[in-house]
Amino acid sequence: MEQLQDKTALVTGGTSGIGLAVAHRFVEQGAHVVVTGRRQEALDAAVAALGAVRPGSATGVRADVADLADLDRLYAVVAERGHGLDVVVANAGGGEFAALADITWEHYESTFATNVGGTLFTVQKALPLLNPGASVVLTGSNVDVKASPSFSVYAATKAALRSFTRSWAAELAGRGVRVNSVAPGPIGTPGLSGLAPDAAGAEQLLDGLAAGVPMGRLGRPEEIADAVLFLAGPGSSYMTGAEIYVDGGTSQF
């Protein structure tokens, strides 16, 4: 039996990396997935790739989660389908390196607007559409408990998501809605490589991050997707308010 048969799921930031891997897993498990992205070309490619797994299994909506009008338009599309939402994966986010002495207001504001504000209003605006027993999964990071020099603003946003997970789980329990989060370590995605200024810097960054993982390697997006699928599906029916670290042991040693 497919774990998400006939379910409807939303995955924000679903055009590459972890988000696209999650969308693939959901489609494989029988769900119809609504994916968002900021670039239409990438969104079209993602919908086509998901459709190749199962025709008609995906809907793409161009949206920036930091733009409330975009979120309203997104949820109008979801509402028009008439099936509500069984799973919401608030995955869209990002960051960039900045040492404490170099942090600007613009850096702080843009990172918090997307990672914290975008997650907050993605979930808030989904509330009227959540079906009984729905699962909400936030994509956090293991930097919410690890020191992260020159990445402190990003780390702070992920700590905020951990707090959201607990508070929203308590608030929505009466509706039968579960809220959990997944905390990846370093994962081999375009977004991670993009933190470096050039190809040589990217190789050095990835090698350095892999060396700091007890398992000795970067994670794969599919490995995070498996954890998200668990939190989205019936196997985690007695879990809420929890955070699962999928980081090769980095946060545990």
β-strand 85-90 against 32-37: which pairing, if any?
Answer: unpaired
State the chain's maximal CA–CA distance in angstroms: 54
Radius of gyration of the chain (CA): 17
Determine whether 219 is exposed, middle or buried from the number of CB atoms within 10 Å of its CB (0-12, 13-18, 19+). Answer: buried
Q: Which residues in 117-142 are b (16+ Cβ under 10 Å) and which e? A: bbbbbbbebbbebbbeebbbbbbbbb
Of 75, 108, 154, 238, the catalytic one is 154
What would the two tokens of residue 94 be? 């990002």
Is 245 a residue of the active site?
Answer: no
Q: With CA atoms as reference, report the closest residue to 225 among 172, 251, 189.
A: 189
- The Cα–Cα gap between 22 and 182 comes to 12
Could you list the active site residues?
154
